[in-house]
Amino acid sequence: MPFLIFFVSLLLPFSVLAFAVPSEQKDDAYISELAQHSSWLDLLHYHQIGIISPYESQVDDDSFFLSATGKTDPLAELQATLTAFSTPFTGEDINTAPQCTYPARFNWLKGQQMGKDFIEVDCPEFQDWYNTIDGESIHLVFPAAYLNSPSSMYGHTLLRVKKKGNDAPLLDYAVNYAANHDPEDNQLVFSYKGLTGGYPGVISITPFHQKVKEYNFLENRDIWEYKLDFSQEEVNQFVRHVWEMRNTYIEYYFFSENCSYQLLAMLDASSDKLNTTKDFSLWAIPADTVRALKEADLIQDISYRPSIANQVQHMLKSLSDEQITQVKTLVDQEELLLDGLDNFNTEEQAQILEVAYQYSRYLSAKKKSTRSYLNTRSMKLLSLRSKYAQSTVFTDTPVPEIRDDEGHKTQRLAFTIGETGDKAFTQLEYRPSYHDLLDAKGGYLEGAELSMFSGSVSIMEEENIRIEDISLINIRSLSPANALSTPKSWQVNLSFVRDSAIDDAMVFRLKGGAGITEQVGNHLFSALLNGRASLNSDYQDLYDRSYKLQVGPQLQWLYSGDTHRIMASYQYLDDVNEHKANEHITELEWAYLLHPDWQVRTKVAQEKRDSREENTVQISLLHYF
């Protein structure tokens, strides 16, 4: 036994040393492991966009990082953060202490057993703001697409934080990510900078009622809301992270680092269970991000808020022509004329006043309205309406059968076989987004078409494979008139296409047009005046110039059924310069929905140019994914 005690006493110092060294190594290893933890990376917004872009934080504001290399080194940022949280603050304003600047980091690291050396401080500014938000739940808000704004053509998403005990959503706060652009920039400059990262994107927190006014009134957009399945702690962490991000910026990119993507990144940073940004490394379309949250089983309740214009359109269906005339009199005349109301019974008067109030409110909210009297007119009409006993004189605006996130998927492949002239061809087309007039209409704006960066390749009989066309941007907005207004229908297309007039050479083409659209049941009838400019040096041999300028009318009919759609179009294009390039283009297309993800189409077309005539017949199989 004495020998055993002596032997153990000799080994004891070495055993203590053996345990002491690995303990330090374990601390370093744990910190290195934490630096690669998905939640830490999410808090720093470490995501890769594209295939060749570097793996680094998407935050472009150096002040967001505590380490000089924090943007590219999450371990260095973690070590700097741990040091900052463990060092007494010596500044003058306690609200600028790291614990107050990064409350989400502070909270998460404490949960990872890293807070034993942290110094707790009071943060009055953060705490006051946090108590004002007082979040109970998070709702994803999805305003529908709006073609008149480049940043919202695909729709938009923002987040509403429901305040505890508050049952009036308009009094909640909205969290929004958007480009901080110069109001003087025109749409072309805005589009260019939005595509190239020319604007800083910022997180803002505003009263929710302001966003509803912007979307429902000013932009005529329906709004869908989705309550997210977040625990109270996840809601709290989200609010903390909003505070961290509110004074920083991330370069805004229209297709990739946009509103929908960055809000997903904010949600990922608030919950260990989320990794929703992983599927959006190339582009993020709002409807697709909603689908991603649904697939992650995060959506609980769904609500619908129709736009004011859609509410008015629904009300108009219940009015007689005489009532509609009276509504126009109440709204359009600078002097309020009430004499005509006596010609209607009490319920009809209440209907007239309610529609007139809603319509005047919509017009007064529009930024371009020049009728200053509408501000007081809408309040006067509301006062008159309140004097009637009938509280409800219209049914609720019906909820669409198919939500915006339930429409067809946005990417599309099309395989086509056909014959043009006397040659057979096979064609493959890819469209990364979004929707055309013959796609299934559910979940999309009727009469709207939007696609960017689509293209096709083809193989003609006895010829090699070739690029058939590249469409840079294609937009059509065929907004139908109603009893109160006639919105402008318009279209624009920028593309590279082949022109048979110069042996199918590729030309650069810009086409645009404007007109009107009328709706009769499931039918849209449009009349447009178009202009078209084509550029290629081969035109020199035909027209003694390297370009072709044409202008002319287009007539179009679109029928929309549940499973099939038909579109017929005729357009005439007259050569502006020498009248040698006149064209008559007639097309008839039919589309049938086989499955939500599959469609078949047939098309016959005829193009006449002077004495030449070319006919095309084709059939296509389309897959949406």
Q: How confident is the model at residue 578 (pLDDT cuts 50, 70, 90)?
A: confident
Please report the pLDDT score of residue 528 as a whole number. Answer: 98
**Integer angstrom CA distances of residue 56 from 46, 435, 471:** 5, 33, 32
527, 554 Cβ separation under 8 angstroms: yes
Segment 280-330, tens digit of pLDDT: 988 899 999 999 999 999 999 999 999 988 999 999 999 999 999 999 999
Q: Which residues of 86-106 are buried (b: 16+ CB within 10 A; e: fewer)?
A: eeebeeeeeeebbbbbbbbbb
Please report the pLDDT score of residue 52 as a whole number. Answer: 67
- Cα separation, 86 vs 425, in Å, equals 71
Please report the pLDDT score of residue 1 as a whole number. Answer: 46
Mean pLDDT on 213-223: 83
How many residues does the structure list for the chain? 625
Mean pLDDT on 36-46: 96
Q: Is the pLDDT of residue 152 over 90?
A: no
Percent helix, strand, coil in the chain, to 5, is 35, 30, 35
494, 510 Cβ separation under 8 angstroms: yes
- Cα separation, 153 vs 471, in Å, equals 17
SS (H, E, C) 191-245: HHHHHHCCEEEEEEEEEHHHHHHHHHHHCCCCEEEEEECCCHHHHHHHHHHHHHH
Q: Is the pLDDT of residue 9 over 70?
A: no
Q: How confident is the model at residue 22 (pLDDT cuts 50, 70, 90)?
A: very low
Please report the pLDDT score of residue 54 as a whole number. Answer: 74
Q: How confident is the model at residue 544 (pLDDT cuts 50, 70, 90)?
A: confident
Q: Is the pLDDT of residue 590 over 70?
A: yes
327, 352 Cβ separation under 8 angstroms: yes
**Integer angstrom CA distances of residue 59 from 43, 385, 430, 522:** 10, 51, 32, 48
Mean pLDDT on 212-238: 91
**Integer angstrom CA distances of residue 573 from 363, 495, 557:** 37, 18, 18
Strand partners, 470: 455, 496
> Kind and range of the H or E element at 615?
strand 612-624
Q: How confident is the model at residue 51 (pLDDT cuts 50, 70, 90)?
A: low
Segment 326-377, tens digit of pLDDT: 999 999 988 998 989 999 999 999 999 999 999 998 888 775 566 788 889 9
533, 546 Cβ separation under 8 angstroms: no
The mean of the pLDDT values for the chain is 91
- Cα separation, 397 vs 393, in Å, equals 12
> Kind and range of the H or E element at 456?
strand 448-460
161, 182 Cβ separation under 8 angstroms: no
243, 103 Cβ separation under 8 angstroms: yes
Mean pLDDT on 538-562: 94
- pTM exceeds 0.85, yes or no: yes
322, 348 Cβ separation under 8 angstroms: no
Q: Is 604 exposed, middle or buried (0-12, 13-18, 19+ CB in 10 A)?
A: middle
Please report the pLDDT score of residue 369 as a whole number. Answer: 60
Q: What would the two tokens of residue 208 be? A: 């929710």
- Cα separation, 276 vs 274, in Å, equals 6
Full DSSP string of 407-418: S--S-EEEEEEE
Greatest CA span in the chain, whole angstroms? 119
Q: Is the pLDDT of residue 251 over 70?
A: yes
Peptide bond between residue 434 and the one before it cis (omega within 30 degrees of 0) = yes
Q: Which residues of 496-511 are buried (b: 16+ CB within 10 A; e: fewer)?
A: bbbbebbeeebbebeb
Identity of residue 297: D
Mean pLDDT on 191-204: 91
- Cα separation, 276 vs 160, in Å, equals 18
Nearest to 158 by CA among 213, 101, 208: 208
User: Which of the following CATH numbers is that of domain 407-624: 2.40.50.460, 1.10.287.130, 2.40.160.40, 2.40.50.140?
Assistant: 2.40.160.40
Please report the pLDDT score of residue 225 as a whole number. Answer: 97
